[in-house]
Amino acid sequence: MEQRYRAVQDVLAGSTVTDVAERFGVSRQAVHRWLAWYEDEGLEGLADRSSRPRSSPGQTPPEVEALICELRRNHPRWGARRLVYELDRCGCPARCRRGSRCIGC
């Protein structure tokens, strides 16, 4: 956070974004992003942020996960291909085509 703050202060003091980026060893885009965060949120905007995605649209629904786990428990010798076949046969809206590996059962 301190590095980001110093970079923003350098730009606000009159240094070019290119010079600041080169001096701090980051891309120009990163310096522009820090400037935008600083303008929008102040010093708090420069704090470390989580790299965790805000959402996981491709995540397997919990109902499908439960069904896959149940199938794995009842039929431990079935592989991913058979699990996907059984899910399709049940009309289950499985987005995952890797069988049990999509949820780590």
**Residues 21-69: pLDDT tens digits?**
999 999 999 999 999 989 888 888 888 888 788 887 777 778 888 888 8
Distances (CA, A) of 27 to 7, 30, 43, 64, 80: 12, 5, 20, 42, 43
Domain boundaries, the chain: 2-46, 62-100
Global pTM value? 0.52
Question: What one-letter code names the amino acid at 52?
Answer: R
Q: With 60 as the cut, is the pLDDT of residue 72 above it?
A: yes
Count CB neighbours of 97 within 10 A: 13
Q: With 90 as the cut, is the pLDDT of residue 74 above it?
A: yes
Q: What is the pLDDT of residue 22?
A: 94
Q: With 80 as the cut, is the pLDDT of residue 83 above it?
A: yes
